[in-house]
Amino acid sequence: MSGNRTFTMIKPDAVENNYIGGILKMINEAGFRIKAMKFTRLTKEAAGAFYAVHKERPFYGELVEYMSGGPIVAAILEKDNAVEDFRKLIGATNPEEAEEGTIRKIYAKSIAANAVHGSDSDENAEIEGSFFFSQLERF
């Protein structure tokens, strides 16, 4: 059975462009409830740790630089079938391949500056939510 929570970040490009409100509106209108949320900024070390699964990828250095380059919004979202439904809402990683009406199609600039992150599994949703929020904040 699929879980009912996922984790998202509104990335530095979207925060810089004042898209927080528009993106949260799309998230709420798609039926997700916000269970925890914070406006914060990742250090290089923290961005490196968050994306450690991509350490061997050629874009890892760029990703860490980019994600630590400005503030982000981190949030835990709740909805039935959260991980899969949220990935549909945000669209493909590369905005050029994202479907019309998805968050990345509307707000993303490039594959690196792609406006939002969404967990790719229930297990990672739990790991990523725990990275930003204490147990108390995750109830």
59 near ligand CMP (CB under 6 A): yes
Q: How many CB atoms lie within 10 A of CB 115?
A: 28
Contacts of 37 (CB under 8 A, 6+ apart): 73, 74, 75, 76
111 near ligand CMP (CB under 6 A): yes
Stretch that binds ligand CMP, among 21-29, 31-39, 96-104, 111-119 (CB under 6 A): 111-119
The residues assigned a catalytic role are: 117
CB 76 within 8 A of CB 27: no
45 near ligand CMP (CB under 6 A): no
Query: Which whole-number Å values give the CA distances from 72 to 8, 28, 33, 37, 109, in the listed order?
Result: 10, 18, 19, 11, 16
E-strand ranges in the chain read 5-10, 33-40, 72-78, 116-118
Nearer to ligand CMP among residue 36 and residue 118 (C-beta): 118
39 near ligand CMP (CB under 6 A): no
112 near ligand CMP (CB under 6 A): yes
63 near ligand CMP (CB under 6 A): yes
Could you list the residues that contact ligand CMP (CB under 6 A)? 54, 59, 62-63, 93, 111-112, 114, 117
